[in-house]
Structure formats: C-alpha cells, structure tokens
Chain A
C-alpha cells in the first residue's frame, strides 16, 4: 500500500540556518503531496502542496519539489526562524483518493 517516510527528529537548528526535512513516498499512480505543520497547541495546517511531477510548492519561505524519479518531496527553507519551531508532517493522497497518508512527523526546534 501507499506509505510516506520522513526523517526522524528532533531537528535542532540555530536561527537563520538552512533547513531540509527529507520525505519519500510510495504510491500507485501519482498522488498529490503535502506538507502540514502543527504548531504547539494548534491543529494541523496545510503548509504547501504539489499536485504533479516537477511542481514546486512554496509558502512562508518553505519550498518542496515533487520529484517523481526519486519519489521524494523534501522540505527546505533557507533561513529558519524561532517561530518555525513546530512538527512537520509529509503526506500523500487527496488527488484521486480522499485518504491522506501521513509520515510520522519531524519536530523542528529553532534556537535564538
């Protein structure tokens, strides 16, 4: 079945450092790919998405590119802020399938 694998955390960075959170997926067909973020005490929020190969999703300085050849959707940000501290979830689905499959989440902690 479909699955999503993302790097384990926690990831601890200093402010203004470069961020990469790896995500790979297995799927039949070509699902949409998403990054959701969960800030402390809040619900999951959509951060960005890509619906087909080579699409780049971007939001709030974060980017991720849908790579069909490597079945990956790595999340990147050039300069993280303390306010980016949260748990990030990679997920697939939502295109032809209503089910979203989530990775286990990566906690990011950004220190001043």
Chain B
C-alpha cells in the first residue's frame, strides 16, 4: 500500500500477557519511529530506527518494551508482561530520509492496546 500500515488495529490483552505490534513503513523510507499516545494526550516518542539500526530507544518506558527492525523495513514493537498503564495507542511513523532535516513524518493509523 501507499501509506504506513499497522497491525493489529485493536488488541486486548490480559495483564501479564506479551503483545507484538507490527509496522509496515512506506517502501524505501529510511527512518522509522514509534510513538505512544495515551488517551487525551499527544504522541510521545518511544524509539527511532535508521534502516535496521536502532539509534535511540530513550523513550521506551521500561525494559519490558522492545523494538526491532531486522531488515530495515518492517518493525515490531513488543511489550512483555503487559500492565494496565501500557494501555495506549501505539503509532508508527516513517520518513524518507535518515539525516537532518528529517522532513515530514507519515503516520500509520495506530494500534490501540487495552490491557485488562
């Protein structure tokens, strides 16, 4: 497709379960970002990839969060032992370039995670 695709769109998990969220960026986009958007808030940065290299993971809230992009295209955000505070919309975004200025970010529709 032409845009950033995320799956699943909705995920309900029981507390303690592991979840995996997938992002398919726009083909050829070098940079890939994950953001977390809590209800009623703006997106907050989680992590950044330039191709397959994870250059910044400073926004990941705990060591239960792990992201990868092994071949420099599709990315997976994994959350282990989910907690209720992990409930949020997880947004993936990509951009064409991997150097300043980074230009426009293209966002997916997000994966809404609800932890019961």
- Chain A residues in the interface with B (C-beta under 8 A): 4, 32, 36, 41-46, 49, 51, 89, 91, 94-105
Select from chain B the residue with minimum beta-carbon distance to A95.
Answer: B101
- Chain B residues in the interface with A (C-beta under 8 A): 3-4, 31, 33, 40-45, 48, 56, 91, 93, 100-105, 107-110
Is there contact, CB below 8 Å, between B40 and A100? no
21 contacting pairs across A/B (C-beta < 8 A): A4-B42, A32-B101, A43-B3, A43-B109, A44-B43, A45-B107, A46-B105, A91-B42, A94-B101, A95-B100, A95-B101, A95-B102, A96-B100, A97-B100, A98-B48, A99-B48, A100-B33, A100-B43, A102-B42, A104-B40, A104-B42
Is there contact, CB below 8 Å, between A42 and B42? no
A104-B41 contact given A43-B91, A43-B108, A45-B107, CB 8 Å threshold: yes
